Amino acid sequence: MMKAALLGYGTVGGGVDRIIQERDDIRITRILEKYPKPEIADRVARDMDEIVADPEIDIVIELLGGVHPAFEFVKAALEAGKHVVTANKALVSAYCKELTALAEEHGVAFRCTPAVGGGIPWLHNLARCRRVDEIREVRGIMNGTTNFILHTMLSGTAFEDALKTAQELGFAEADPTADIDGWDIRRKLVISAAVAFDLLAKEEEIPMFGIRTITAQDIANFRTLGRTCKLMAYGTKSKNGVSAYVEPTLLLPNEPEASVPANYNTISLDGKLNGIQSFYGQGTGRFPTAANVVSDCLDILAGERDFYAKPVPASVDNSDAKHAYYVRTAHRDAFLTGNCVTEGNGFVITKDISVDEMHRWAKEKAASDPALFFAAIR
């Protein structure tokens, strides 16, 4: 039997404990929790040192979130020869190189399947496809919160009201910044690119624009264009390396991502041999995410030790990525006028513009027009 320590007993942590209690091959013997509940009092650890020093603990499950002290705790566990499973995309995105090197050095496993896609076994299957196929592109809806908001707004609901509903249902945090501004999906793209392309990119290298400034009028405008908006992540192999970016995208009705409802995700890969394969499921939720955590533990129990890939530091190159954009701004300027192809009710449609150029202009423009919104038309 594998004995585990659980770091964090929140929504997902409680779900993991519930699932494992019904199994006879894993047992959680220690729980590190700042505000322990009475039902786990007999398993609460005083501190991380107690877990590290316990020779009976084989695996540490990190569900604290955030980068610190999660990094220090995971580092200590790996150095102590304990396997680690985490759902913490911020941690993996920031410290993938250091943590995978530590795991290899100490002969233990470091797994993070639930960090991308919640309940979708995306990373596991992406790595499996990589064994025999060349991945040309990864793309998709990787954030259930923003998808829920955009889906809710289709009925005419204002952004603020859709966000409030998402928070009431537990799909969005009290501070939704990481979701609505794109930080969360960008971190998931960093990890996906590491597995798909061996690209160890820095978050700040990947252009990102979220949905904070989208309005009900924008949604109505999209309808007149015959399109639906989704916040999408793209990673594409190109002649210059790998292109990667995050931005709202206007999709045609026949595109599979266009009809993804509520808090669901769909993430796809395009392989040279297998073509397009898509993975669909809940991107948030207690038990979907917890199930992927436990699945990672079972992979380790079965002898899996290697990380999904062996990524190396490399730079993102978006020089080949160009497409048209929908842009809504209160103040036209020379850049927008010079790239305008057509215009509508308070918006313009541009000619093909490079991703880097568009994001750079929008970042500068937002200083004078914080309500600016744009979306790709691919």
Summarize pLDDT for 185-196 with one digit per residue, the tens: 999 999 999 999
- The more confident residue out of 52 and 119 is 52
Catalytic residue among 82, 188, 230, 237: 188
List Cα–Cα distances, 207 to 166, 172, 259, in angstroms: 26, 23, 25
Asked if residue 28 lies in contact with residue 39, where contact means CB atoms within 8 angstroms, the answer is no
Angstrom CA distances, 263 to 23, 124, 143, 188, stand at 29, 21, 8, 16
Where are the domain boundaries for CATH 3.40.50.720 in the chain? 2-111
pTM of the model: 0.95
Angle at 338 between CA 249 and CA 226, to 5 degrees: 30
HSE, CB side, 13 Å, CA atoms: give it for residue 35.
Answer: 1
Instruction: Classify domain 2-111 by CATH number.
Output: 3.40.50.720
pLDDT value at residue 272: 96
Task: Determine what percent of the chain is predicted with pLDDT higher than 90.
Answer: 89
Catalytic: 164?
no
* CATH domain 122-282+315-321 topology: Dihydrodipicolinate Reductase; domain 2 (3.30.360)
Percent of the chain topping pLDDT 70: 100
Question: At 315, which amino acid appears?
Answer: S
Q: How does strand 322-328 pair with strand 312-313?
A: unpaired
Residue 256, SS3? helix
Q: Quick check: 9 pLDDT over 90?
A: yes
The tokens for 368 are 């004078």
b/e burial code for range 318-339 (CB count within 10 A of at least 16 → b): beebebbbbbbbeeeeebbeeb
User: At 6, is the secondary structure helix, strand, or coil?
Assistant: strand
What pLDDT shows up at residue 97? 93
Q: pLDDT tens-digit profile of 130-155? A: 999 999 999 999 999 999 999 999 99
Exposure of 164 by Cβ count < 10 A (0-12 exposed, 13-18 middle, 19+ buried)?
middle
Q: What residues does CATH 3.30.360.10 cover in the chain?
A: 122-282+315-321
pLDDT at 238 over 90: no
Summarize pLDDT for 94-139 with one digit per residue, the tens: 999 999 999 999 999 999 999 999 889 999 999 999 999 999 999 9
